Structure 1
């Protein structure tokens, strides 16, 4: 039961990850270079189960990011995530978190993030405001992102905190935050070819 809870919480975190990863992913295509870039990307969700940190990974997502550090106001980001691809390390738990009480992937197969504004900060920091939709619930979020160049690539890192219950993730007995915490940290590392 405890493991079941942990997996479920991971799914919640995953939804938040969408927003974070969406902010700076690139459109992935089937060419070799794009595949290599996609392999460098990660979106993970960290939460506490029985006060012990647990981390899961979101495996399938597509994104369209148009980012120009010289013209940030014209930059944009969109992300679409297949919620059933959340992976906490065991097929039976992955199936459970895709179920009705957690992501309800049969009714809400995708989570999404669409940016509305990107603002520059100091020392490579940016804030990305946008609409995060998980399980049919849309909220306004602001994602802090750290940006840097790495050769011909752009690299984006950040963490987005969310509350899983705000998106209806974890219903019934899983609303109990003493077992699976409401707080979820979405961490992302996105590498994309500079345009």
Structure 2
């Protein structure tokens, strides 16, 4: 019995060492969105304060778990009045719900370096499953730290009212919100 326990422990430890954590390089990353305004133009926004990690044991990231969060109060649409309105209780209610978060629950490869990423998005106190497109945009080595790096782009569409964001009609602010996150990650 002791021998089986030791073998099982050794196997578990070897699997644990396989999993690698990758941290976002914030100087080479962005978390943002686009929404249609008055059925005629698009407004882009970003979250200036965010964090993201990836945990994966496979070189092609086909088992990766992505975690992303951002501070709602860091929203930036290049218009201070609009930013303050978005932070208000009418939209994101940053005082009551200071962050949004996403954690993937599964990943499936659809083509070379292309995946479907399923996970739970929590926004304004509402958690819903969503599916996003994920692309591995490249891999390499950080010349300074000599650590592996990988680049990703995540895109998808959510309905803002599914999360209780904004009550204005879709003719004023579009119902669909395009999500876009890009970034380089470095192995820890």
| TM superposition score category, shorter chain reference | 0.7 to 0.9
1:190 aligns with 2:188: no
Change (3 A) 1:27 1:194: closer
**2:71–2:98 contact (8 Å) kept in structure 1:** yes
Normalization by structure 2: what TM-score? 0.78
- CA distance in 1 between counterparts of 2:52 and 2:139 reads 20
1:121 aligns with 2:106: no
**1:72–1:120 contact (8 Å) kept in structure 2:** no
Equivalent of residue 162 in structure 1, options 147, 158, 161: 158
Task: Identify the residue that residue 21 of structure 1 maps to in structure 2.
Answer: none
Secondary structure (helix, strand or coil) at the match of 1:79 reads strand
Task: Identify the residue that residue 28 of structure 2 maps to in structure 1.
Answer: 40
Task: Identify the residue that residue 20 of structure 1 maps to in structure 2.
Answer: none
Task: Give the 4+ runs in structure 1 shifted more than 6 A.
Answer: none
Deviation, 1:60, is: 0.8
- CA distance in 1 between counterparts of 2:90 and 2:138 reads 41
**Structure 1 gaps, min length 5:** 1-24, 29-36
**Structure 2 gaps, min length 5:** 1-20, 142-148
Q: How many residues align?
A: 160
Task: Identify the residue that residue 140 of structure 1 maps to in structure 2.
Answer: 129
Q: CA RMSD in A?
A: 2.0
- CA distance in 2 between counterparts of 1:87 and 1:148 reads 25
Equivalent of residue 87 in structure 1, options 58, 64, 76: 76
Normalization by structure 1: what TM-score? 0.75
**2:22–2:187 contact (8 Å) kept in structure 1:** no
Deviation, 1:105, is: 0.7
Task: Identify the residue that residue 53 of structure 2 maps to in structure 1.
Answer: 64
Q: How does 1:95-114 map to 2 (within 5 A)?
A: 95-114=84-103
Change (3 A) 1:40 1:70: closer
- CA distance in 2 between counterparts of 1:184 and 1:111 reads 15
By relative contact order (CA 8 Å, sep 6+), the higher-ranking structure is 1
Deviation, 1:143, is: 1.2
